[in-house]
Amino acid sequence: MAGTDRTSHYSARQRGIRIVAGAAMALGMLSVLPPTSGPAARADEVTASQNTLRDGWDASEPGLSPSVLTGGSFGQLFSTPVNGQVYAQPVVAGSTLVVATQNDYVYGLDAASGAVRWSMSLGTPWPTSTANCTDVTPSVGVMSTPVYDPSSGIVYLVAEVIPPGNDAYHPAFYLHALSAQTGAEQPGWPVQIQGAPVNDPTRPFDPYSEWQRPGLLLMGGSVYAAFGSHCDYSPFVGYVAGVNTSTRSQTMWSSDAGLTDSMGGIWQGGGGLMSDGTGRIFLATGNGVSPASGPGSSPPSELAESVVRLAVGSGGALSAQDFFSPTNAPALDSTDRDFGSGGPVGLPYGTSAYPHLLVQAGKDGRVFLLSRDSLGGRGQGTNGTDNVLSVAGPYQGQWGHPAAFGDTAAVSTANSATANDFVYYVGRNDALRALKFGVDSSGSPLLSDVANSAGNFGFSSGSPVVTSNGTDPSSAVVWEVYTSAPGAAGTLEAYQAVPASSCTAAAPCTLRELWSAPIGTASKFTIPATDSGRVYVGTGDGHVLGFGSPDA
């Protein structure tokens, strides 16, 4: 839908079934980040999917290698009960694991033992029965992944609450700034998110018709939050709100500044707002009025079914600078196949001609490779087609976002066949797919499906993450939360990330499953967190689980 966690209303929800389940790479010049000296040390898990590229790659985890997982000692370390469902990915601040719930509770847990160090209530959560919204029940509190600032020791999070004296028809959203070590609210906080978008002052933010699902972004001294709708009830549009952490001044932008309330919600299956540098924000939008055909450098006012790049201008004002929307965007809208059911992911590798790549996929299962420096507009290809670098699939539709791993810097950059650069994609009721990155005969980047998991992942399974010891392909592991359907039991599963070099699109292989464990009731589109040899998962039955080796 245009801004919710629901599946399509055009087909019945189907239960996932666990089942056993083609172009060779050409020569080309490839580039990769992290650099050849190895990945930069990462002390904490500070944001959704590891970093602001949202590539899900944690390259500082020798304690999560395949040999550790299969050695017999790796398993559940703790299961800590918390007050409310956990939709937000936990974040790690030093030795403290910060977890927020749909009942507006926040916890600081000991990252090794799961013991509660502190907890606090942020207020009364919004009851979804108020709008007869059965997608997420019974309440919405903190739904998005917080962001932690190691330089200040502060964790920022957005909570939906019913303020004292208000009824459920008049909720509010507050951005909180808490000490990660004590839970203490910082002076001058929280800040209520309110106002009107700079590109449409006539349409002020209405918290009753919005909810805040995408992970938060901390960039340039401001925290950015994106909004979609409560169960698609109109009127609503998509918003991005920014709050300066020093002055607490606010800025706001709307994805639909047209003549009608035409949706265009930003939800991304919980994926975070993406950034590849100061002043640059990437997002994806859902159903609504499609942008008119035109170049990406001239974004129109209505930007549903699009990937959009925002710029932060003078005084913090947000403006759209570039966009891509599929040529068939109106058809996607009419059949409820949101392009924005998936979040954009910046790849940590590229080619000499296209060093800054972005992956985007939505409910129709096409996996687009775009250039972050020129997204492509709408209908700007030959004969009005899509102006993109390549398209893989279609596979089954995505609710969430892919992950990435790359070792190009550790091998010859002259031959893509020797590289181990992958995108990991999970569609609805489909396998976990390892899509190998390479180039075609003309040097254009492409993704080829070379290996799949033996089992399929049901609707509401999570977004994958990758752990490794630097760029060593033998150490890389893909983590994914499996569930058969919304509200069902789930498992945390780990797979060998890099298949054999003999695996090709013409002769795909099976990804080796290394380890798995039950987690109880799975939340929708869960993103695991990883840090210091441990993996953390929040659940739909109000628990936070930690997995690792006892001696880690």
Output the CA–CA distances (angstroms, integers) from residue 291 to 254, 263, 302, 312, 341, in the order listed. Answer: 14, 13, 5, 22, 17
Taking the alpha carbons at both ends of the chain, their separation in whole angstroms is 42
In angstroms, the CA 363 to CA 337 distance is: 5
Tens-digit pLDDT profile for residues 519-530: 999 999 999 999
Cβ(458)–Cβ(484) below 8 Å: yes
Q: Burial, 432: exposed, middle or buried (Cβ in 10 Å; 0-12, 13-18, 19+)?
A: buried
In angstroms, the CA 414 to CA 438 distance is: 11
What letter represents residue 197's amino acid?
P
Q: Which pLDDT score, from 0 to 100, does residue 552 have?
A: 63
Output the CA–CA distances (angstroms, integers) from residue 167 to 130, 134, 141, 161, in the order listed. Answer: 10, 19, 15, 10
Average the pLDDT over each of 22-36, 311-325, 383-397 and give the range with the smallest value.
Answer: 22-36
Tens-digit pLDDT profile for residues 49-66: 999 999 999 999 999 999
Tens-digit pLDDT profile for residues 243-281: 999 999 999 999 998 766 678 999 999 999 999 999 999
150 backbone dihedrals φ, ψ, rounded to 5°: -60, -30
109 backbone dihedrals φ, ψ, rounded to 5°: -105, 150
What does the buried/exposed string (b/e) look like for 28-38 if buried means 16 or more CB atoms within 10 Å of the residue's CB? bebbbbbeeee
In angstroms, the CA 355 to CA 343 distance is: 20
**Model's pTM, two decimal places?**
0.93
Q: Which residue in this structure is represented by tokens 């695991």?
A: 528
In angstroms, the CA 75 to CA 93 distance is: 22
Tens-digit pLDDT profile for residues 205-238: 999 999 999 999 999 999 999 999 987 777 788 9
Say how far residue 534 (Cα) sits from the centre of its chain.
Answer: 20
In angstroms, the CA 377 to CA 332 distance is: 16
3-state SS of 126-153 is EEHHHHCCCCCCCEECCCCCCEEECCCC
Helix, strand, coil distribution of the chain in percent, nearest 5: 5, 40, 55
